[in-house]
Structure 1
Amino acid sequence: MKERTRKSSAEPRRNAKLAAVIAEADWSHAQLAHAVGRVAFEAGNERLVSVGRSHVSHWVAGSTPSGDAPAVLAEALSRRLGRVVTVAEIGLSGPQPPVALDWSADTLTTLADLGRGNVDIERRSVLRAAGYSVAALAVPSQAWWDTMARRGAQRSARTGRLIGAGDLEAIREMAAMFTRLDQRRGGGHARTALAQYLTSDVASALRAAHSSADIRRDLFSTAGELAYLSGWMAFDNAEHATAQKYFTVAVQLAAEADDPPLAGHVLRAMAHQAVDLGHPRQAVQLAKASLDGRRSTLASPRERALLEVVHARALAADGDGSAAAKALLRAEDNLASATKSDDEPGRVFFFGEASLAHETACTLRDLGDLTAATSEFRHSVRTRKAATFTRTHAVTLGYLGAVQARQGAIDEACSTWSMALDVMDGVHSGRTRQTVVDMRAALSPFRARGIPAATELDHRASRYLASAAR
């Protein structure tokens, strides 16, 4: 009896806090293990990618997860519940995500800090996904915007260099080059080069003297587009905490330039990221903010269409099908009214018929209308210029294959996924990698039955993931 007592006292005590949050999420240990693996994959944490049900059971029983596991657990549960779950709340200790973004911080100081931290940010051992902060998604007030616009107008030069129209045009040319590279090759290509250019050459130009007030405003807007693009490339490569930092700086630069449409464009990207990370309520708030006031009224029809279709996606993810359908109609109407003579920014050059069909398909898929989603994905594949927009073309094919598999058309799905893998050659993107991870999960039961097409496709998928590992 004494031996039995000593043995029981040595057993780990149940982690009641973690068990309670898992119960609130209404997840089995197997479902949580899958979610943990997905977050770990995004973060580049190979050790946790294949975490199993037994790991979760041991953690609930009282064993202590090591390394980044507590933060990954907290992030997985946050996505499920749509609120911030900290490691302390689940009875563990580990790195804590930031709880707020400092919107009041000086824009150029924040940009310089990003430049100094760029090397550390790029270390693959750093857990990027778990650093994404849901609590930081609150949009600043109109009073903040007015203050930032005045701050921009009152900035004085900190160097003797004079920036003129030629300098501005050179920076715009670099922005166009990086934008096209992202569209073709994915966010994993050249993002560090863009971050270095933004935080050194462009930051220096922002601190210099400017030949006119218009040049200053246009320069800050262009810098905001570069910061947005750096954030978008990080988002596409599943570097979510890094993306959030750059998106925030992009909004600040847009505010100092008094450029509401650019701010709306960035807030739309933040909403897209929130949808993908499983935070629909915050996504809806961001999408609404992107369409608020002058962000929408001063935007070109093409840009308004983009804002509306992401709004539709957020509403669908939040379960509001009726509102999502109305937003889709507004997006279609806005894109239909766009003309070649419109004075529209270069940042929306990618958004056309194929992109609208892709986002519409995602909205319909999330609403459960798989037949209509399949039709829209196919329309997107048919109408996209794949040589120019290779990354998104690959993602669309991956999504189409997944919907076909859900409908039981596994032969069609295998054919579509095979095309997706063909297109992914030379693409470095976290979103393409995730479609391949999802592909392998969907193929698993068919591979177990010894179906040759599924087995061969799985081998190709495995080779792609090995070659695309960050």
Structure 2
Amino acid sequence: MTSVIGANIKRLREERGWSQARLAREVCRSTGVSGEPIGRQEVSRWETGKRTPREWLPFLASALGVTADVLKAPQEPTQPPLPTLADFLPEEDPLTPLQTRRGRQIGMGAVDDLKQRVHGLRLADDVLAGGDLIRPALRELRSAVKLYRHGAHTSEVGQQLLRQLGELAQIAGWIASDAGQHGEAERIYRLGISAATQAEDHTLAGNIAGSLAYQYSNTGREAEGVTLAHAALSDAGSDAPPKARALYLDRVAWAHTKMGKAHAQPAMRALGEASEALAEDTPGTESPAYLYWVDAGEFRVMESRVYTELHRPLRAVPLLRNVLSGYDTTHTRELALYLSWLAVALADANEPEEAAAVAERVIGISSDVSSERTAERVRVILRRLQDYADVPEVAALLAEQEAA
């Protein structure tokens, strides 16, 4: 349980917009000793109450610009604090640098090389599924962590390496999740949140946290999905680029949607705010390169999925038809996923014959796709069509799948 001192450390750190790694550096600087005798993990232990600063207390107070008595004083009861991404960092951080780095000197050339590999993996994910990519993705991630931990580099190069590690963890976590390796994906996402946080890239941290929240929402951990989606939005702040804020709000909308009809209003409110954020993405507005896929079409897909999940097919079907009419068929997995939502929405609209036809197309497309996401969507469709088992087209499809 968090101690009084730990809660005060966390509160004062967050008021300054510092990461745990930043506070660790400031404390080391205030001691006047060479090297870094404490790191991010030690600050995390202080904040969670697992350890008491003791001899570090005056240096902590100095770094935070307060007295030691302020750190010891209980705070007046207020509303429960909002969760932050610090609550989702890994317990033992594999990014902790070795005390003595004897590896080769790492320069910006290595950072640029890693950046290209990350981008290549992201483009590969557009056309290949998680089962095809998980092995190369994990190899790249292990190699990048080793490069950061063992190599000798300046603080600037280290920060850029951490940023690329965060981007790599986001796409590797997404790939692992698509392959059905949810435990592995969660560990990778937490690693990425840590890397982005240490790099003080709050936009990237929010993107990675939103991906983990999305996994929670889809794997039976809906309440955790809501908590983390809101934490991602809150921690990124109002200065995040419009595309990023739109994506965070989409994740919030989906998290509330998966909680059921009682959360329909916050889901719809988040969708509206996401639309407003995306409208701010005018020509000349800069966004991180990894958000290249966030556009009006993707927003319509999310909107239609929310409507489908809330059983509002009259809104969902036209949106999905519009998106699918011009969708790139080389993106096989996404095409199968989007069609799966159309099949369910058509069933909700009491159009079982057309729903069966779309379902048959989904099954055909996804048969050669090594994706747990598409496999689960096929199962969802077939369960939904059971309500129309007496319709000849549906009966034929169900019989064929049972035989298969």
Query: When the two structures are superposed, what TM-score results if normalisation uses the length of structure 1?
Result: 0.62
> Are 2:387 and 1:408 aligned?
no
Aligned length: 322
Aligned pair in 2 of structure 1 residues 333, 385: CA closer, same or farther (>3 Å)? farther
Paired residue type of 1:228: Q
| Residue aligned with 1:419, SS | helix
How far apart are 1:157 and its partner, in Å? 5.9
Could you say which residue in structure 2 is the equivalent of 1:296? Answer: 237
In 1, distance between residues paired with 2:166 and 2:374?
26
| Residue aligned with 1:162, SS | coil
How far apart are 1:213 and its partner, in Å? 2.6
Does the Cα contact within 8 Å between 1:354 and 1:384 map onto a contact in 2? no
Could you say which residue in structure 2 is the equivalent of 1:377? Answer: 320
Aligned pair in 2 of structure 1 residues 461, 400: CA closer, same or farther (>3 Å)? farther
Could you say which residue in structure 1 is the equivalent of 2:206? Answer: 264
Aligned pair in 2 of structure 1 residues 459, 178: CA closer, same or farther (>3 Å)? farther
How far apart are 1:462 and its partner, in Å? 6.8
> Are 2:381 and 1:430 aligned?
no
Aligned pair in 2 of structure 1 residues 144, 412: CA closer, same or farther (>3 Å)? closer
| Residue aligned with 1:244, SS | helix
> Are 2:156 and 1:214 aligned?
yes
CA deviations on 1:280-318 (whole Å, 9 max, x unpaired) are 32221111101114x133422111111111111122333
Does the Cα contact within 8 Å between 1:225 and 1:262 map onto a contact in 2? yes
| Residue aligned with 1:190, SS | helix
> Are 2:185 and 1:243 aligned?
yes
**Which of 151, 169, 176 pairs up with 1:234?**
176
| Residue aligned with 2:132, SS | coil
Percent pairwise identity: 22
Paired residues for 1:57-456 under 5 Å: 104=41, 139-141=84-86, 158-199=101-142, 201-209=143-151, 211-293=153-235, 295-318=236-259, 319-387=262-330, 389-424=331-366, 426-444=368-386, 449=390, 451=392, 454-456=395-397
Does the Cα contact within 8 Å between 2:130 and 2:371 map onto a contact in 1? yes
In 1, distance between residues paired with 2:167 and 2:210?
13
Could you say which residue in structure 2 is the equivalent of 1:88? Answer: none
In 1, distance between residues paired with 2:128 and 2:401?
20
In 1, distance between residues paired with 2:402 and 2:214?
26
In 2, distance between residues paired with 1:357 and 1:253?
31
Q: Which moved more, 1:203-212 or 1:301-310?
A: 203-212
How far apart are 1:216 and its partner, in Å? 1.3
Paired residue type of 2:253: A
The two structures, once aligned, show a CA RMSD in angstroms of: 3.1
How far apart are 1:380 and its partner, in Å? 2.7
Aligned pair in 2 of structure 1 residues 298, 445: CA closer, same or farther (>3 Å)? closer
How far apart are 1:459 and its partner, in Å? 3.1
Query: Gapped runs of 5+ residues in structure 1?
Result: 1-102, 108-137, 464-470
How far apart are 1:189 and its partner, in Å? 1.4
Paired residue type of 1:317: K
In 2, distance between residues paired with 1:301 and 1:180?
22
In 1, distance between residues paired with 2:134 and 2:292?
20
How far apart are 1:437 and its partner, in Å? 1.8
Could you say which residue in structure 2 is the equivalent of 1:54? Answer: none
How far apart are 1:414 and its partner, in Å? 2.0
In 2, distance between residues paired with 1:346 and 1:426?
30
In 1, distance between residues paired with 2:286 and 2:274?
18
Does the Cα contact within 8 Å between 1:255 and 1:263 map onto a contact in 2? yes
Aligned pair in 2 of structure 1 residues 266, 462: CA closer, same or farther (>3 Å)? farther
Q: Which moved more, 1:406-415 or 1:391-400?
A: 406-415
Aligned pair in 2 of structure 1 residues 142, 408: CA closer, same or farther (>3 Å)? closer
Does the Cα contact within 8 Å between 1:353 and 1:383 map onto a contact in 2? no
| Residue aligned with 2:234, SS | coil
Aligned pair in 2 of structure 1 residues 257, 269: CA closer, same or farther (>3 Å)? same
How far apart are 1:342 and its partner, in Å? 3.1
CA deviations on 1:303-354 (whole Å, 9 max, x unpaired) are 1111111111122333222222221111112212224533322221222222
Query: When the two structures are superposed, what TM-score results if normalisation uses the length of structure 2?
Result: 0.71
Does the Cα contact within 8 Å between 1:414 and 1:457 map onto a contact in 2? no
Aligned pair in 2 of structure 1 residues 202, 435: CA closer, same or farther (>3 Å)? same
Query: Gapped runs of 5+ residues in structure 2?
Result: 1-39, 45-82
In 2, distance between residues paired with 1:450 and 1:334?
44
In 2, distance between residues paired with 1:300 and 1:202?
27
In 2, distance between residues paired with 1:248 and 1:420?
33
Paired residues for 1:448-467 under 5 Å: 449=390, 451=392, 454-456=395-397, 459=400
Aligned pair in 2 of structure 1 residues 207, 460: CA closer, same or farther (>3 Å)? same
How far apart are 1:427 and its partner, in Å? 2.3
Q: Which moved more, 1:366-375 or 1:189-198?
A: 366-375
Could you say which residue in structure 1 is the equivalent of 2:55? Answer: none
In 1, distance between residues paired with 2:296 and 2:146?
39
How far apart are 1:141 and its partner, in Å? 4.2
CA deviations on 1:135-162 (whole Å, 9 max, x unpaired) are xxx75548989xx9xx98x976623311
